[in-house]
């Protein structure tokens, strides 16, 4: 361990007492860095593909761990591959394209990563360097916002938009857009249209589940409205409680899908972030502890485990986005870095809740009870 790493470990690397030391968390950061390619790309695993969303999440974890140069390389790699319309392909394999679909959520997440990076480093110059990329990405996404506030989830390989929105994707876009608004304000850019669009999207996520394709078997559709900050307070805690027995295997973690006893470390860590965002610190710590069942001695994590057989699935797979989710959860629980409260809505502009004209008032069907 270098002198610089020792300084970061003692002063700024998250530690969750009794669960993970700062050295443990740093080891997980290095597990990500070891997979990162020389050009900055962070694939899921060595020789695997890369998608921009998980690439950004991995870069966020690198920043948390003080591996700032590697994080900058990751963001510059992504910026260098943006299309002229502001989009990115869904999957990259080495220097080639594996999946040419354009996923709107994937194209939004750079804003969240850039704001997170700025909060930790205070590097306004780098934020300004990324601004044109962020701006084009958000503008691309808003071309596909629908009259009900939702955002179509993707365009196929021929450029035709899919005819529906996804709750998880739109939730994540909502959070990314709030980050984009924060970036615009920090750089003295005027984009009030983004704030209004985010308000419409957040309202759809919180109050109109019928605007999205039903994917209720997936854990992410359960917790993402709260993780994104669209559904807060008692309403968010109620939704979490209603799905708890369906998706949580006590002492083991969170099922990826309700139809099987397959626990995944990434969903577990994201649910920890959700609990933390809702002010439920005790349950968040308990769930985070359960997630360490999937940790390996080198700081990496199995992607998932099937119970009761305790077989890894996918078989022996360890993924950088999984490592990253655990690092971000550790930071949130310990409130270590200046970005630790990002999923609690800290540092973000006040959210707008903008109902579409057809919604009427709360007594006319635009209520959280619809959830």
Per-residue pLDDT tens for 202-248? 999 999 999 999 999 999 999 999 999 999 999 999 999 999 999 99
* Domain housing 58: 17-349
Residue 357: which pLDDT band, with cuts at 50, 70 and 90?
confident
Query: What pLDDT sits at residue 7?
Result: 46
- Residue 359 in any domain: the answer is no
User: Across residues 17-38, what is the average pLDDT?
Assistant: 98
On whether residue 121 sits in a domain, the answer given is yes
| pLDDT above 60 (res 365) | no
pTM for this predicted structure:
0.94
Buried b (16+ CB within 10 A) or exposed e, 25-49: bbbbbbbbbebbeeebbbbbeeebb
Q: What average pLDDT does the chain have?
A: 93
Residue 299's pLDDT band, with cuts at 50, 70 and 90, is very high
Q: Region 280-292: what's the mean pLDDT?
A: 98
Number of domains, the chain? 1
Contact predicate 32/324, CB 8 Å: yes
Tell me the pLDDT band of 50, cut-offs 50, 70 and 90.
very high
Domain containing residue 254: CATH number: 1.50.10.10
Domain membership of residue 226 (yes or no) is yes
Q: Of residues 116 and 363, which shows the higher confidence score?
A: 116
3-state SS of the chain: helix, strand, coil percent to 5? 55, 10, 35
**Cα separation, 6 vs 301, whole angstroms:** 23
Q: Is 369 part of a structural domain of the chain? A: no
- Classify residue 2: in a domain, yes or no: no
Per-residue model confidence as pLDDT tens digits over 313-347: 999 999 999 999 999 999 999 999 999 999 999 99
355 located within any domain:
no
Has residue 40 been placed in a domain?
yes
Identify the bridge partners of residue 262 per DSSP, sorted by sequence position. 306
pLDDT for residue 217: 97
C-alpha angle with apex 368: 367 to 369, nearest 5 degrees? 85
Q: How confident is the model at residue 90 (pLDDT cuts 50, 70, 90)?
A: very high
Whole-number Å distance between alpha carbons of 340 and 116: 9
Tell me if 126 sits within 8 A of 72, measured CB to CB: yes
Per-residue confidence (pLDDT) for residue 11, from 0 to 100: 54
Q: Is residue 371 included in any domain, yes or no? A: no
Of 149, 148, 150, 49, nearest to 98 by C-alpha is 49
**Which position has the token pair 């615009």?**
184
For Cα atoms 306, 170, 338, give the angle at the middle one, nearest 5 degrees: 80
Whole-number percent of the chain with pLDDT over 70: 94
């Amino acid at each position: 361990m270098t002198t610089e790493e020792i300084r970061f470990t003692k002063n700024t690397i998250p530690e969750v007492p009794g669960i993970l030391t700062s050295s443990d968390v740093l080891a997980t950061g290095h597990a990500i860095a070891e997979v990162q390619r020389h050009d900055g790309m962070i694939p899921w695993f060595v020789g695997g593909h890369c998608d921009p969303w998980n690439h950004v999440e991995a870069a966020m974890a690198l920043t948390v761990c003080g591996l700032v140069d590697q994080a900058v390389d990751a963001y510059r790699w992504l910026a260098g591959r943006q299309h002229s319309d502001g989009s990115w392909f869904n999957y990259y394999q080495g220097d080639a394209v594996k999946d040419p679909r354009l996923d709107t959520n994937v194209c939004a997440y750079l804003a969240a990563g850039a704001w997170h990076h700025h909060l930790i480093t205070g590097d306004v110059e780098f934020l300004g360097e990324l601004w044109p990329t962020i701006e084009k990405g958000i503008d691309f996404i808003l071309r596909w916002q629908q009259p009900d506030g939702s955002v179509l989830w993707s365009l196929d390989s021929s450029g035709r938009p899919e005819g529906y929105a996804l709750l998880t994707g739109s939730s994540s876009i909502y959070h990314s857009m709030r980050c984009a608004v924060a970036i615009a304000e920090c750089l003295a850019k005027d984009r009030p249209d983004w704030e209004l669009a985010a308000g419409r999207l957040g309202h759809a996520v919180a109050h109109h589940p019928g605007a999205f394709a039903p994917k209720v078997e997936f854990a992410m559709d359960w917790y993402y409205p709260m993780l994104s900050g669209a559904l807060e307070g008692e309403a968010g805690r109620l939704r979490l409680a209603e799905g708890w027995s369906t998706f949580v295997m006590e002492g083991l973690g969170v099922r990826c899908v309700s139809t099987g006893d397959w626990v995944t470390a990434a969903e577990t860590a994201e649910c920890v972030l959700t609990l933390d965002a809702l002010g439920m610190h005790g349950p968040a710590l308990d769930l985070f502890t359960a997630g360490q069942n999937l940790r390996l001695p080198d700081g990496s994590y199995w992607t998932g485990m099937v119970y009761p057989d305790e077989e890894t699935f996918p078989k022996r797979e360890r993924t950088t986005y999984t490592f990253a989710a655990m690092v971000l959860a550790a930071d949130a629980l310990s409130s270590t870095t200046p970005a630790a409260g990002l999923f609690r809505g800290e540092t973000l502009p006040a959210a707008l809740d903008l109902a579409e004209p057809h919604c009427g008032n709360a007594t006319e069907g635009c209520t959280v009870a619809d959830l």
